[in-house]
Amino acid sequence: MQTNTTPNITMKYTQTDFYIGLGLAVSSTIFIGTSFIIKKVALIRLNHIGSVRAGFGGFGYLKEWIWWLGFLMMGVGELANFAAYAFAPASLVTPLGALSVLVSAVLASKYLNEKLNLLGKIGCLLCILGSTVIVIHSPKEEEVESLKDLLEKIKDSAFLMYILFVLICSLLIALYFGPKYGSQNVVVYIIMCSAIGSLTVMSCKGLGLALKETITGRSDDFQNWLTYVFFITVIICIFIQMNYLNKALDLFNTSIVTPVYYVFFTTLVIIASAILFKEWLTLSVEDILGNICGFLTVIIAIFLLHAFKDMDISLSDLRGILNPKHEKLWRNGRNENYESLLSRSI
């Protein structure tokens, strides 16, 4: 990683900030991942008691303290996530979101008896490996000055084009493609959620910056109209995003929505962040390559965790190939195997 050597007095993400952001991002995924499991425990308990299930319009879960605990953890997680964006680049924080999938998969197998098969376990390991590679190669510094300067960056024609592009896409999907193809193809609503989501993240960064500046006493950004624009944008964007994500979840399995959403959301956040902050310009070719490898590894990991969920694959199924083969081989007449062995040993 190269550091900008020209002297500047701008507020930069320092190494310390980077590690604070990293810590916040990782702990937010732990809170969010755990909250899924706690909420599910609450729903299962309610189910045993025999109240009307949430799926049928019941609201009994609101009386269950465990459900509220899950809700609280979710809130803490989202706050930590929000704070992480103020400290570290979005292209680090967003991809790490994958770890919450890992946390909930591991906890579900431990506390909910949802069996994690061999491919799921491999997926978990890959998720950690890919995330580590992303952390190693992510941009460590990013120039973010005052809110005024952020406005300058936003006014950059490329980012305005991006916002326009997102708005047109969203309108087209909401009015035309959604009603027509939304129930047939899983990506339709997810593209919309992700595009709007990338604007949410950028507004969160602005809001986080305002909070950080105010708290550290650099300036009182609560006098600044821009802070309120960010705040309102975040509220509106989250509302649209949640609405269409629920639509997608209602129409398709979580197993397919989660990985597809991860891919589109992360990709669009990285693109938006790259256009706005140009953080990638300071990265070497190796770091960009490393980021891509890490990101692809995490996508594969999430795919393995989800797509083969219902398959019954364990190491014991593979014991066959661990055993000496001679008798078995000739009995089954699987001579091709022996042939391939020969072609390698000759």
Chain contacts with a copy of itself (rule: CB under 8 A): 36, 39-40, 43-44, 47, 53-55, 61, 119, 122, 125-126, 129-130, 132-133, 136, 183-184, 186, 245-246, 249-256, 286, 289-290, 293-294, 296-297, 300, 303-304, 306-308, 313, 318, 321-326, 335, 337-346
| Residues whose CB falls within 8 Å of the CB of residue 37, separated by 6 or more in sequence, listed in order | 70, 104, 107, 108, 111, 112
In the chain the beta strands, taken as DSSP E runs, fall at: none
CB of 155 to a copy of itself, least distance (A): 36
Q: Which is nearer to a copy of itself, 49 or 322 (CB)?
A: 322
CB 270 to a copy of itself: min, Å: 17
CA–CA separation, 39 and 220 (whole Å): 39
Q: Which is nearer to a copy of itself, 223 or 336 (CB)?
A: 336
Q: What six digits make up the tokens of 13?
A: 């993400």
- The C-alpha atoms of residue 244 and residue 56 are separated, in whole angstroms, by 20
**Closest to a copy of itself by CB, 123 or 206:** 123
Q: How far is CA 49 from CA 65, 110, 169, 259, in A?
A: 14, 23, 46, 33
Nearer to a copy of itself, 205 or 309 (CB): 309
Query: Least distance in Å: CB of 224 to a copy of itself?
Result: 35
Task: For the CB of residue 186, give the shortest distance to a copy of itself in the complex, in Å.
Answer: 6
Cβ-based nearer residue to a copy of itself, 153 or 247: 247
How far apart CA 300 and CA 286 sit, in angstroms, is: 21
Tokens of 132: 């580590």
The CA distance from 81 to 212, in Å, is: 15
Residue closer to a copy of itself, measured from CB, 5 or 343: 343
**Residue 52 has what DSSP assignment?**
P
Q: Please state the closest distance from residue 43 (CB atom) to a copy of itself, in A.
A: 5
Phi/psi at 143 (5° precision) = -80, 115
Closest distance to a copy of itself from the beta carbon of 293 (Å): 5
Task: Pull the structure tokens for residue 340.
Answer: 């391939």
